[in-house]
């Protein structure tokens, strides 16, 4: 009996180590899922934005391509915020969407994905609909390889649903044995030249971004910083933590503004940026791109990031291999090592509502030292970077595109990928509503994330921006009257509401020991800075 295109596709996925599919299926997707293989698992989400968010968290935490199954154009549209996060985070995803049967595409019946390849652009590396059924295996093979090649990112395939049952061409079986790899190391001479440039610097500074953590090369960044005796800043709006926040060289998170960055880097003659864009700005705060007298070197896996940088030199390659080579090659500097930054004092017990700083300190004190935090409490980002003790790679995740709806599903995906580490999702009450159905997926699959909802009844980050932009008399900044305990309970999850130190500490300790998903809604003071 001839191998069908569906069977060959499942074999391809097995060869690439992909046996988990994240999705929310519609009618066009059912033929692919029929007789679902017993060695695969399907993680169902109640909304396509949640499905792609869970897959994104899973892909980032594993460092491997994840497969997402969406429903035609409507499902793709629902997932566009997730595409933006995956694109900006360099998350390797293969996203498939079902297309109408080939015999009817021309008359555009219901559920036709019109101009399917254009729909997800520009937030994908590649978008394709095979011209004939026999091309589906090659398209899937290409998507699997392309998603993980530097810079990693999402790819999109629109597949007519009658293709799956058709026989595969015998020559397509060659796809099962293909291996595609990227080599991005510096040769010895280039490493020595780059190390010499760093050694000549009188006062270098290092800025690290998310691709350092994605490459799990944090330890080499530490070795390089120690040998250069250089302070380390985290790139603006970083969605991952690439350097231990407890290390004496750690300085904190750079602001997302031109003037702010130049002000903090003043006095340094060389800025080494690794694994980050140069730079990802946000609020308009005009000023020099670099301090006077400073030069910049960027190390990135993304040629587009290198090409669009407005200043400095760039090296495109494997961030991990390059940092390791530099740490091995550079001579130890003779200058004094940086003095540890002055950490903020731990917050004292307070009356209800608690400050967000107090809640963060309690979590940091009570959680395991290797806990993973997935954050979407946007008004407390700076407080988290100042107060949390993140030491292991893969300890922090945040939405890379700046929109909301990433953290709740991503926390589920990260926990699926990291079953031996506790995942804690820290969510604002405004943010939580974008993807609250992720609670159902966590409950149904017993994914033991601890969800902490910081409830202050407002969009705190927007209130801060309203003051910056002098646009304070605007509607829609408050979100009162939401009962997250009732919502979580309705989705089958244990939940509790607290408003005191003792109650939060007790609830959080219970949740950490429970071994099942749980939600804590904690009343916090409105924090707008």
Q: In whole angstroms, what is the distance from residue 161 CA to residue 105 CA?
A: 11
Residues 278, 312 contacting (CB under 8 angstroms): yes
403 is catalytic: no
Phi, psi of 442 (to 5 degrees): -60, -45
Q: Compute, in degrees rounded to 10, the torsion defined by CA atoms 377, 379, 385, 391.
A: 0
The label of the residue with tokens 């080599």 reads 183
Catalytic residue among 17, 27, 492, 515: 27
- Is 26 a residue of the active site? yes
Q: Alpha carbon 108 to chain centroid distance?
A: 36
Of 23, 48, 376, 430, catalytic? 48
Of 26, 75, 399, 430, which residue is the catalytic one?
A: 26
**Alpha-carbon span 385 to 341, nearest angstrom:** 13
Write down the catalytic residue from 402, 418, 457, 494: 402
Active site residue 476: no
Cα 332 to Cα 348: distance, rounded to the nearest angstrom: 41
402 among known catalytic residues: yes
Q: How far are the Cα atoms of 75, 359, 426 from residue 439, in angstroms, in the given order? A: 20, 21, 13
Kindly report the length of the chain: 529
List the catalytic residue out of 282, 287, 382, 467: 282
Contact call for residues 130 and 124 (beta carbons, < 8 A): no
Alpha-carbon distances, residue 161 vs 78, 112, 455 (angstroms): 20, 11, 44
Instruction: Point out the catalytic residue in the list 16, 23, 29, 201.
Output: 29
- Cα(345)–Cα(381) distance, rounded to whole angstroms? 17
Q: Which residue in 16, 47, 71, 90 is the catalytic one?
A: 71
247 included as an active-site residue: no
Q: Show Cβ contacts of residue 493 under 8 Å, excluding neighbours closer than 6 positions.
A: 439, 442, 443, 517, 518, 519
Residue 185 CB coordination number (10 Å) = 14
The yes-or-no answer on residue 29 being catalytic is yes
Give catalytic residues, as residue numbers: 26-27, 29, 48, 71, 282, 402
């Amino acid at each position: 009996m001839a191998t069908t295109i569906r069977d060959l596709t499942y074999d391809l996925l097995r060869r690439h180590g992909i046996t988990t599919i994240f999705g929310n299926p519609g009618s066009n997707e059912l033929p692919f899922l029929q007789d679902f293989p017993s060695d695969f698992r399907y993680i169902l989400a109640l909304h396509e934005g949640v499905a792609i968010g869970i897959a994104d968290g899973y892909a980032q935490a594993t460092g491997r391509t994840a497969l997402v199954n969406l429903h035609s154009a409507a499902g793709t549209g629902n997932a566009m915020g997730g595409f933006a996060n995956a694109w900006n985070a360099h998350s390797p995803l293969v996203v498939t969407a079902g297309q109408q049967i080939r015999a009817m595409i021309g008359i555009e019946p219901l559920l036709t994905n019109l101009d399917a390849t254009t729909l997800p652009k520009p937030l994908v590396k590649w978008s394709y609909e095979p011209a004939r059924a026999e091309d589906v295996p090659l398209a899937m093979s290409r998507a699997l390889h392309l998603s993980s090649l530097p810079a990693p990112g999402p790819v999109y395939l629109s597949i007519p649903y009658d293709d799956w049952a058709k026989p595969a061409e015998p020559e397509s079986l060659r796809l099962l044995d293909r291996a595609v790899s990227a080599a991005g190391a510096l040769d010895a001479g280039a490493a020595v030249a780059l190390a010499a440039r760093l050694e000549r610097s009188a006062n270098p500074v290092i800025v690290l971004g998310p691709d350092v953590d994605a490459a799990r090369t944090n330890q080499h960044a530490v070795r390089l910083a120690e040998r250069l005796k250089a302070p380390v800043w985290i790139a603006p709006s970083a969605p991952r933590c690439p350097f231990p926040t407890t290390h004496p060289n750690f300085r904190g998170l750079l602001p997302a503004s031109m003037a702010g960055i130049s002000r903090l880097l003043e006095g340094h003659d060389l800025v080494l940026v690794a694994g980050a864009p140069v730079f990802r700005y946000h609020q308009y705060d005009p000023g020099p791109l670099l301090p006077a007298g400073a030069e910049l070197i960027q190390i990135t896996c993304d040629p587009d990031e290198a090409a669009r940088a407005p200043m400095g030199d760039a090296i495109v390659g494997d961030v991990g291999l390059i940092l390791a080579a530099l740490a091995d090659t550079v001579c130890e500097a003779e200058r004094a090592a940086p003095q540890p930054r002055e950490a903020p004092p731990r917050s004292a017990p307070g009356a209800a509502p608690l400050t967000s700083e107090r809640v963060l300190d309690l979590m940091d004190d009570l959680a395991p030292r290797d806990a993973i935090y997935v954050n979407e409490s946007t008004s407390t980002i700076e407080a988290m970077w100042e107060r949390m003790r993140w030491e292991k790679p893969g300890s922090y995740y945040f939405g890379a595109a700046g929109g909301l709806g990433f953290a709740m599903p991503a926390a589920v995906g990260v926990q699926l990928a990291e079953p031996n580490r506790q995942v804690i999702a820290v969510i604002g009450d405004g943010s939580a509503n974008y993807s609250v159905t992720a609670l159902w997926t966590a409950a149904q699959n017993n994914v033991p994330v601890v969800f902490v909802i910081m409830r202050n009844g407002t969009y705190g980050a927007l209130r801060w921006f309203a003051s910056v932009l002098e646009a304070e008399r605007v509607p829609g900044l408050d979100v009162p009257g939401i009962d997250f305990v009732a919502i979580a309970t309705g989705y089958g999850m244990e939940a509790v509401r607290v408003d005191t130190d003792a109650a939060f500490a007790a609830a959080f300790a219970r949740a950490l020991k429970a071994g099942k998903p749980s939600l804590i809604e904690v009343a916090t003071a409105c924090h707008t800075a």
